[in-house]
Amino acid sequence: MDTHTQKFKVRLGLFVAGGLALFVIAIFIIGKQKNLFDPVFKLTSTFYNVSGLQVGNNIRFSGINVGTVDNIIIINDSTVKVDMLIKKEIKQFIKSDCEVAIGSEGLIGDRLLIITQGSVNAPLVKDGQHLASAEPVEIDAIMASLQVTAGNVEIITQQLAEIMYKINKGNGTLGRLIQDSSIAENFNQTMVNLEKSSKGLDENMEAAKHNILLKGFFNKKAKAAEKKKKDALEKK
């Protein structure tokens, strides 16, 4: 009986010790996430819509987690106040003209606050100071825009398919040009005729240059061109 009681006491002691250890670890983890063990200072900002932001969400500055959301209060129907706890060691980098925006950890991650970098000459923030905010873009608005774009792309694709179908059938000018070989042959013959006409025109111009009546005119034109070229070279 005594042995059984001792074993029970040992098990009870181990259970209590294990429970206390888990409790201490949980307190340490939660306290670290909430910055309970680090010196912090407070900042505030207001939004029209916090877009699912919750107390305890992270706050980032330059891509680094620097604090947590301490409190969210609805001021009126168009204003929501957000209190932030920031590590005191980060205070030397946050300027008074920094802005606070709402982002997310990935596409479907938790919401978080992002403090943008301020200008070089702006003064540092003070404890309890209010920072300007940038309203978030709602996912629903993005999805609605994507749906409209997808609908437009579908319409354009259908129209292109109809055009290609008509072209393949030989309908329309482009379709007849591609499908009807006689049109292509006529086009080639037209190009040959233009080439012959151009060649004949060159021959006529050459003959006109040697004509007694027109020879003086062409010589005068040639001298004028030569003089113009000479003047241009002298200016250089």
Note the pLDDT tens digit of each residue in 4-33: 676 666 676 777 777 777 766 766 666 555
CA dihedral 93, 99, 105, 107 (to 10 degrees): -150
pTM above 0.75, yes or no: no
1 pLDDT higher than 60: no
Rounded Cα distance between 43 and 125, Å, is: 9
* Structure confidence at residue 43 (pLDDT): 93
Going by C-alpha positions, the residue among 87, 74, 1 that lies closest to residue 36 is 87
Condensed to tens digits (0 to 9), the pLDDT of residues 103-141 reads: 888 666 788 999 999 898 999 999 999 999 887 655 555
Rounded Cα distance between 82 and 54, Å, is: 10
Q: What is the mean pLDDT of the chain?
A: 76
The residue type at 63: G
145 pLDDT higher than 80: no
User: If you average pLDDT over residues 222-232, what whole number do you get?
Assistant: 70
Domain boundaries, the chain: 1-33, 40-136, 180-235
Contact 86, 44 (CB under 8 A): no
Instruction: Please work out, in degrees rounded to the nearest 5, the angle formed at the alpha carbon of residue 126 by the alpha carbons of 120 and 128.
Output: 135
